[in-house]
């Protein structure tokens, strides 16, 4: 069973991703280049899977130099809970784009089933929380200031978040399917002149770690993102881990404004890892910004269940 799954899961990933594709519109949820380290944000089934208390902070500034460009900060913490296969976590995310700011607070829970004696595991996860949105229409440049939409303002509109996910993995590969929130919500002014819709997003992710020798590991990884009324975006990334310490990688994002990216990471100690990514746009948008920057810091501690930090490459 293990051999069959690890052999065919990558083609299956691409087939499912193409099946989920729908017609195009704009980005809604934050985009992450280092998605392989920030998995908890999109998939609650990931919490506890590293076997350690794991704390991660990430900051992304996108399309630098473009007025109103997205800026995202996220913080997450997760840990296994006891010896029964349970995991818990919590997260905070703040996102700014144009006149809109979004603050999200969530709690995550997972339960893991051991599929065989060789380390294959299947985790189920649930996410719950709240999403608070503010929109200030006065920050926009209007062609007609007398347009009634000019005064479109949303203040502290709070909506519930309910999400779920699956995470199938062993020591060398993983496959995840999730939706951080099933609920589609609508934010509007008192006269309903202007409406902002938040759509349900689905994520399909996977990766495989190839051990070349004791000093080098290669990990191709991919993630598909799709929402109702939007196009599918797909990231394809290849990371190389040297001496269990240095990580270098490159990737490409397929979407309306495709992106090349470069990644680097450094395992400072057994407990601390830092990482950086740079994105460069293609197409007309590249003439109006100087790229995107993303940094993260991860801190991990062993637990009573697993005293040492998990050396797994995802």
Reference 56, options 70, 77, 36; nearest CA is: 77
> Tokens 């997972």 — which residue?
110
Q: Kind and range of the H or E element at 12?
A: helix 2-19
Q: Residue 312's pLDDT is what?
A: 81
For 46, residues 6+ apart whose C-beta sits below 8 A from its C-beta are 39, 40, 78, 110, 123, 125, 165, 167, 176
Calculate mean pLDDT across residues 9-37. Answer: 56
Query: φ and ψ at 45, to 5 degrees?
Result: -70, -15
CA distance 53 to 89: 9
Please answer whether residues 104 and 161 qualify as being in contact, where contact means their C-beta atoms are separated by less than 8 angstroms.
yes
Please answer whether residues 307 and 301 qualify as being in contact, where contact means their C-beta atoms are separated by less than 8 angstroms.
no
Please answer whether residues 58 and 77 qualify as being in contact, where contact means their C-beta atoms are separated by less than 8 angstroms.
no
State pLDDT tens for residues 255-305: 767 899 999 999 999 899 999 999 998 877 777 788 899 999 999 997 766
Domains annotated for the chain, with CATH where assigned, are: 2-301 (2.40.160.40)
Confidence check: pLDDT of 26 > 60: no
Residue 17's SS3 state is helix
State pLDDT tens for residues 91-122: 999 999 888 899 999 999 999 999 998 889 99
Query: The whole model's pTM is what?
Result: 0.82
- More confidently predicted of 67 and 241: 241
Residue 151 pLDDT grade (very low, low, confident, very high; cuts 50, 70, 90): low
Calculate mean pLDDT across residues 68-79. Answer: 94
């Amino acid at each position: 069973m293990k051999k069959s799954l690890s052999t065919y899961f990558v083609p299956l990933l691409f087939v499912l991703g193409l099946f989920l594709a729908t017609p195009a519109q704009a980005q809604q949820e934050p985009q992450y280049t280092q998605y392989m380290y920030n998995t908890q944000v999109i998939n609650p089934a990931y919490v506890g899977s590293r076997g350690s208390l794991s704390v991660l902070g990430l900051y992304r500034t996108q399309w630098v130099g473009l007025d109103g460009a997205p800026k995202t900060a996220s913080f997450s913490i997760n840990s296994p809970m006891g010896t029964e296969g349970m995991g818990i976590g919590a997260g905070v995310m703040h996102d700014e784009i144009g006149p809109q700011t979004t603050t999200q607070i969530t709690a995550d829970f997972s339960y893991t089933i051991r599929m065989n004696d060789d380390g294959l595991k299947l985790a189920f996860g649930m996410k719950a929380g709240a999403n608070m949105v503010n929109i200030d229409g006065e920050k926009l440049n209007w062609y007609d200031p007398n347009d009634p939409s000019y005064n479109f303002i949303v203040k502290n509109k709070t909506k519930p978040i309910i999400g779920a996910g699956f995470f199938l993995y062993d020591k060398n590969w993983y496959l995840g399917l999730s939706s951080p929130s099933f609920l589609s919500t609508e934010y509007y002014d008192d006269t309903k002149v202007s409406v902002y819709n938040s759509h349900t997003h689905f994520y399909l992710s996977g990766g495989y770690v190839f051990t070349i020798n004791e000093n080098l590991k290669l990990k191709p990884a991919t993630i598909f993102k799709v929402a109702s009324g939007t196009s599918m975006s797909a990231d394809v990334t290849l990371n190389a881990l040297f001496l269990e310490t240095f990580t270098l990688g490159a990737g490409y994002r397929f979407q309306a404004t495709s992106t090349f990216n470069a990644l680097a990471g450094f395992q400072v100690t057994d407990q601390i890892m830092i990482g950086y990514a740079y994105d460069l746009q293609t197409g007309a948008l590249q003439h109006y910004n100087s790229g995107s920057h993303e940094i993260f810091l991860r801190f991990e501690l062993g637990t009573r269940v697993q005293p040492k930090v998990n050396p797994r490459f995802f």
